[in-house]
Amino acid sequence: MQPDRRLEKGHASHQQSSSEIVALIPALRAFARTFCRNTSDADDLVQETLTKALAKIEQFEAGTSLKSWLFTIMRNTFYTQAKLARREAPGVSDCASTRLRVDATQEWSTRGRELYEAIQRLPPQHREIIVLVGVLGMSYEEAGEICGCALGTVKSRLSRARLRLLEELDEQSASSCIERTETFPTASLPKSVPR
């Protein structure tokens, strides 16, 4: 009796798919972190995805994107786990004792609006640099390429833009914008209520 060539070919393609899966683990871990903030939860999600993928490897169609197939499994696994968690723990999200105390955000909202308005009042060249470097986090070199200017020009424009922003916000130094001396209303509340 001759061995079936289709089965041998299928077995070889599954072994190849398995080795490709191993090469995609770093991409899976990065994708899992978009769902889970905790790295151990993200690793658990990757492990669950790999377990499901290897159990159903015969369902993978050769010639299609293995990465997309794995990402779809991961996304579906995450949403299924989230639905189960909501069903298993009814009322936990509504319990006031489990909520963290949060300081009022009105001051930060006001400060954010003031900063936005101050940035809008900057000259266009300074506004462009402060947004590229300060807000979007681009390097000086990248900002220079986008603006079509030299590295030194980027640095001087950024320096002038920061000084102008401090003036607009009526601040003495950059650290005074961050370190506020006022106390928030909830900061004065006792940490625990005596019984």
DSSP letter string, 2-42: PPPHHHHHHHHHHHHHHHHHHHTHHHHHHHHHHH-SSHHHH
For CA atoms 150, 152, 158, 161, give the dihedral sign.
negative
| Rg of the chain over all Cα atoms, to the nearest angstrom | 27
Six token digits for residue 34 = 């978009």
| pLDDT reported for residue 65 | 85
| pLDDT reported for residue 77 | 92
CA distance 49 to 78: 9
Dihedral class, residue 148 (left if φ above 0, else alpha if ψ from -120 to 50, else beta): left
| pLDDT reported for residue 193 | 44
Query: Long-range CB contacts (< 8 A, 24+ apart) of 106-109?
Result: 107/180, 107/182, 107/184
| pLDDT reported for residue 73 | 92
- Residue 132's Cβ-count burial label (10 Å; 0-12, 13-18, 19+) is buried
Q: pLDDT (tens digit, 9 = 90+) per residue, 149-186?
A: 899 999 999 999 999 989 888 887 655 544 444 444 44
CB distance 46 to 29 below 8 Å = yes
List, for the chain, all residue ranges whose pLDDT scores fall below the cut of 50. 1-11, 177-195
| pLDDT reported for residue 169 | 86
Single-letter amino acid, residue 7: L
| pLDDT reported for residue 160 | 93
| pLDDT reported for residue 103 | 65
